[in-house]
Amino acid sequence: SSSETDGPFPSDHMHPSVRILPPVNSPVPAPLNYTRHRKSSYHSPPVTTSTSRTQIRDDEQRCDLFKGEWIPNEESPYYNNATCWAIQEHQNCMKFGRPDTGFMRWRWKPDGCDLPIFDPNEFLEMVRGKSMGFVGDSISRNQVQSLLCLLSRVEYPEDISSSPDTAFKVWNYTSYNFTLHVMWSPYLVKTTKADPTDPECNLFNLYLDEYDTKWTSQINQLDYLVISSGHWFYRPVIFYENETISGCQYCALPNTTQLPLYYGYRKALRTSLRAILENFKGLAILRSFSPQHFEGGPWDKGGDCVRTRPYRRNETIPEGADLKIHDIQLEEFRAAEEEMKKKGLRLRLMDTTQAMLLRPD
């Protein structure tokens, strides 16, 4: 993944002059909703999981895809900077000195079932004639980049974006009429710079009860929507509610209430889920928070990621991972899910936090 300072897709990476493809039949990790039957000799008792979680179903049991561990996978990697056009230059770990490649050779193994290898041909058939959108920050963008890389072994999409704004990209896989939208909104709600005349200004105004219409106005055309956020809420921000300053975070403004980041994050997430409730009829997915793994300090104060392999389940994980945002996501998801059920709408939780917590490498 990339740092929280990254912006949206740069335009100079959309039209590569050289494209190197691996063999078409090489395997890639499976989508989270892929169904597979176990061998008939498997007779463990049923495992019951929360109905709010994505599940694999077969004749014998339900499997919680998000409870498991990382195991070695010698068949990977399935792409790298040389083979995938969607990876940005500053994300080239090898070029900038990473000495090992082991971090690319793991796959996720759920406890109760086997997660099959992703087949990009099958995925594109599943979404034929559909549209999918991703809303969030650079971690959301990383998720899109991975999908673009996995699908590039079958087809390169056409850039059909209506404007040159790299914060909002639209690609179409013409052979499948599948459209992929990327919408940059690191705070999910309406946001402005505190000083719009200063290009270096890092203080933002967050309107916690107002939609970011740059993305909420587009979602009614989508079949699938994946929303995520979190890391940008550690920055200095000023909170607005009812068009009035209600407080701030890390801003040191006089006569202004200092509020914790969790206050703003909960309100922003609740507002964005309300926007989905009011404007979206497809399948919405909330992808949970991916914890940071910096050791020795924050990312901008000497912190580093020094690990070269995943944590094992029984290992002690160093303190510092902030899981409060994940708790807020679960609480707000459950509340929104109940409201959507009343209206016959669909909201799912892609709860990848535990899996990502185990990946300091």
> What is residue 123's predicted lDDT score, i.e. its pLDDT?
98
pLDDT of residue 304: 86
Listed as ranges, residues in the chain with pLDDT below 70 are 1-61, 319-321
Q: How, if at all, do strands 106-110 and 68-72 pair?
A: antiparallel
Quick one: pLDDT at residue 6?
56
The dihedral built from the CA positions of residue 6, 317, 146 and 51, taken in this order, carries a sign that is negative
The encoded tokens of residue 99 equal 């000495």
| pLDDT, position 82 | 84
pLDDT in tens, 131-140: 999 999 999 9
Model pLDDT, residue 246 = 96
**Tens digits of per-residue pLDDT, 85-140?**
898 888 888 888 888 889 999 999 999 898 888 899 999 999 999 999 999 999 99
Q: What is the structure's pLDDT at 34?
A: 33
Q: For position 210, what pLDDT does the model report? A: 99
